[in-house]
Chains A and B, each alone.
Chain A
Amino acid sequence: MSIHHSVQLNRDLCVGCTNCIKRCPTEAIRVRNGKAKIADERCIDCGECIRACPHHAKSAVMEPFSALDQYTYTVALAAPSLYAQFGTPATRMMVLAALGNAGFDDVFEVAIGAEIFSRHASIWLHDALKKGKRPLISSACPVVVRLIQMKYPNLIDHLLPFDAPMEISARLAREKAREKTGLPDDQIGVFFISPCPAKRTAVANPISSDKSYVDGVIAMSEVYPLILARLEKLENSQVESFASRHLAGSSGVRWGYSGGEALSLNTERYLAVDGIHNVIAILEEVENERLKDIDFIEANSCTGGCIGGPLTVANRFSGKSRQRGYILAARDLAKKHPGAIYPAGQVHIEPWKKELEPNEALKLDKDIFKALQKYEQMEKITADLPGLDCGACGAPDCEALAEDIVRGEASETFCIFKLKERLRQVAAQMSELEQEMNRHLEEDEEDNIHEAGDAAQ
């Protein structure tokens, strides 16, 4: 499985320190020849390394704004977390209008897709519960889906089998653009304004379909200043044009932070976990069947949920506070103008047609005999390593170095303590050899003197 990743390394900025290798949840990074190297088959695009790198050598490669030029008509998809980037007096309509002014022909809310997702998910969840299957796990965060494929393949069939809200909204936005303009699909560009790099990877390698409805993914941080500048110059008429359009309801808008998704599933027995390392701890519990009293798990790779994404600008705590303001406003709108809310109940989506494949990148070997051998070797090497987990060898800990050695990708002397030991041995041998050499030289010299003496006589 070859995956196109959006998390990339800038070699010039990398100093080969141990910050990223230590934080990577799938141990996908090694430092080799003084530079970090990300293993494609293991990377799940969580963005932890982007956050961890003090030298900004890790970044997300997203579509540049100039990608819009390839299309006759463009639509921006606004994630729920986008709103939270802007505080009062900005309103949702203002943010959407300003986003449109930044260079798009139209805008569409991902929160609408979120509401459609929730309606289907709720039915699916309650059917599963009737059959005794629990807990179900959200599939909206692409990092969590890839994590499950790699580390928890037993849980693949616990995932809600629906395309993420981004895809649902992209489909609707595309249909709307086609109807409005009559243009063919390849002249309509649908761009997601993303809080995270994983969404771009998900677009390039769709989880369970052949092609994404999204044409490009632009970093929220890149669009942020454009929106900010246009918020100040908005004309009333532009904002008012949104008054005649359908907007998402509050249940879609609240998807921006951790816990927002779970509230729409008609169960109190849910758990919302955020932060990739916390997600791992919870999935471990689920796999070991220790969370059987939970119906639904909302898992977000980023701390705080999407508002904590590596490509967001606002602090996630102030973002969460602002998001609440947008949710309240959406609730208010629904109360005063029920007709203004998008009729999410009218849109039908199909469950995934393809079953997700496990990712076997962590396996030592396909052959069980060889795998057992390698594992035993690995245990022996680990026991022999200093156990300091210093990372100086370029692997995140001693066990990972042992694994690299067994896989033939490293040698024991990558460990500086082992190297020191070897040097000491070699130095001792050298000094022994030197002494031996000196002894020979002395003997030779004595012989020479004797010979010279003999000759003189």
Chain B
Amino acid sequence: MQTVKLSFKIRGSDFVNAGEASSNTKKALSRIGLSPSVVKRAAIAMYEAELNAMIHADGGQADVEIFPDHVIISITDHGPGIPDVDLAMQAGWSTAPDIAREMGFGAGMGLPNIKKQADDLKIETKVGQGTTLTIKILFA
């Protein structure tokens, strides 16, 4: 089956270029001609996940695979992991450092917002080893 694969490096604590991977992905999705609402959901979910990796895990890797009827976005990092996923899923819960909060990031809306945008969200995490988020967004 024809798919398009994109991958990006996410650099740690790089607030200046924050969101580059999701913005490039967004561009690709709209070029391919997906409906505007799908493009938007994918871009927002990926941006949040990308920022999590940038802020909490000193960066990581973003892999996108676009299928004819859905897109899979995986964000992998080798950061501290999430000790309590249920807690992290609660709106407003945040462990972001002050520098991130001062810049308007880290309001504790990241994971809940990803879940809101995604049709499916898988969180694989191990404390001390890292986290992989797999976001699935259906086109119809």
Contacts A284-B23, A364-B31 given; indicate if A372 touches B36 (C-beta within 8 A).
no
Contact A376 B33 (CB under 8 A): no
Contacts A284-B23, A289-B44, A368-B68 given; indicate if A153 touches B4 (C-beta within 8 A).
no
| In the bound complex, CA of A152 to CA of B3 (Å) | 25
Contact B47 A360 (CB under 8 A): no
Question: Is B127 engaged at the interface, CB distance under 8 Å to the other chain?
Answer: no
Contact A154 B37 (CB under 8 A): yes
Report the minimal beta-carbon distance from B63 to chain A, rounded to whole angstroms. Answer: 14
Contact A368 B30 (CB under 8 A): no
Question: Is B115 engaged at the interface, CB distance under 8 Å to the other chain?
Answer: no
Contact A375 B32 (CB under 8 A): yes
What chain B residues lie within 8 Å of A376 (beta carbons)? 2, 4
Interface-centre pick from A152, A288, A365, A369 (highest chain B CB count, 10 A)? A288
Question: Is B100 engaged at the interface, CB distance under 8 Å to the other chain?
Answer: no
What chain A residues lie within 8 Å of B44 (beta carbons)? 288-289
Report the minimal beta-carbon distance from A374 to chain B, rounded to whole angstroms. Answer: 8
Report the minimal beta-carbon distance from A391 to chain B, rounded to whole angstroms. Answer: 20
Residue of A nearest to B26 (CB): A288
| In the bound complex, CA of A455 to CA of B37 (Å) | 89
Residue of B nearest to A293 (CB): B104
Q: How many A-B residue pairs have CB under 8 A?
A: 59
Question: Is A287 engaged at the interface, CB distance under 8 Å to the other chain?
Answer: yes
What chain B residues lie within 8 Å of A67 (beta carbons)? none
Report the minimal beta-carbon distance from B118 to chain A, rounded to whole angstroms. Answer: 15
Report the minimal beta-carbon distance from A275 to chain B, rounded to whole angstroms. Answer: 20
Question: Is A379 engaged at the interface, CB distance under 8 Å to the other chain?
Answer: yes
Tell me what chain B mostly uses at the interface: helix, strand, loop, or mixed. Answer: helix
Question: Is A363 engaged at the interface, CB distance under 8 Å to the other chain?
Answer: yes
| In the bound complex, CA of A287 to CA of B44 (Å) | 9
| In the bound complex, CA of A104 to CA of B117 (Å) | 57
Interface-centre pick from A284, A362, A366, A372 (highest chain B CB count, 10 A)? A372
Residue of B nearest to A368 (CB): B68
Question: Is A13 engaged at the interface, CB distance under 8 Å to the other chain?
Answer: no
Which A353-393 residues sit within 8 Å CB-CB of chain B? 358, 360, 362-366, 368-369, 371-373, 375-376, 379
What chain B residues lie within 8 Å of A288 (beta carbons)? 19, 22, 26, 40, 43-44, 47
Question: Is B28 engaged at the interface, CB distance under 8 Å to the other chain?
Answer: yes
**Contact code string B71-91 (vs A, CB < 8 Å = 1, else 0):** 000000000000000000000
Contact A365 B23 (CB under 8 A): no
Contacts A154-B36, A287-B40, A364-B32 given; indicate if A372 touches B47 (C-beta within 8 A).
no
What chain B residues lie within 8 Å of A371 (beta carbons)? 31-33
Residue of B nearest to A373 (CB): B2
| In the bound complex, CA of A123 to CA of B11 (Å) | 45
Residue of B nearest to A377 (CB): B4
What chain A residues lie within 8 Å of B4 (beta carbons)? 372, 375-376, 379
What chain A residues lie within 8 Å of B36 (beta carbons)? 152-154, 358
What chain A residues lie within 8 Å of B30 (beta carbons)? 151, 362-363
Which A324-369 residues sit within 8 Å CB-CB of chain B? 358, 360, 362-366, 368-369
Contact A372 B32 (CB under 8 A): yes
| In the bound complex, CA of A358 to CA of B34 (Å) | 13
**Contact code string A7-36 (vs B, CB < 8 Å = 1, else 0):** 000000000000000000000000000000
| In the bound complex, CA of A358 to CA of B4 (Å) | 25
Contacts A360-B33, A363-B33, A375-B28 given; indicate if A369 touches B47 (C-beta within 8 A).
no
Contact A364 B23 (CB under 8 A): no
| In the bound complex, CA of A381 to CA of B66 (Å) | 19
Contact B31 A372 (CB under 8 A): no
Report the minimal beta-carbon distance from B28 to chain A, rounded to whole angstroms. Answer: 6
| In the bound complex, CA of A371 to CA of B68 (Å) | 9
| In the bound complex, CA of A373 to CA of B43 (Å) | 21
Report the minimal beta-carbon distance from B111 to chain A, rounded to whole angstroms. Answer: 16
Which B43-82 residues sit within 8 Å CB-CB of chain A? 43-44, 47, 66, 68-69
Residue of A nearest to B40 (CB): A154
What chain B residues lie within 8 Å of A375 (beta carbons)? 4, 28, 31-32, 66
Report the minimal beta-carbon distance from B22 to chain A, rounded to whole angstroms. Answer: 8
What chain B residues lie within 8 Å of A153 (beta carbons)? 36
Which A117-157 residues sit within 8 Å CB-CB of chain B? 151-154
Contact B43 A372 (CB under 8 A): no
What chain A residues lie within 8 Å of B40 (beta carbons)? 154, 287-288
15 example contacts (A-B, Cβ-Cβ < 8 A) are as follows A154-B36, A154-B39, A287-B40, A289-B44, A362-B31, A363-B30, A363-B33, A368-B68, A371-B32, A372-B2, A372-B3, A372-B4, A373-B2, A375-B28, A375-B32
Residues of B within 8 A of A (CB): 2-4, 6, 19, 22-23, 26, 28, 30-34, 36-37, 39-40, 43-44, 47, 66, 68-69, 139
Task: Please provide the 6 A-B residue pairs with the shortest distance between their CB atoms, ordered closest to farther.
Answer: A363-B33, A153-B36, A154-B36, A371-B32, A372-B2, A371-B33
* New contact pairs (5) apart from A287-B43, A288-B19, CB-CB < 8 Å: A288-B26, A369-B68, A372-B68, A375-B4, A379-B6
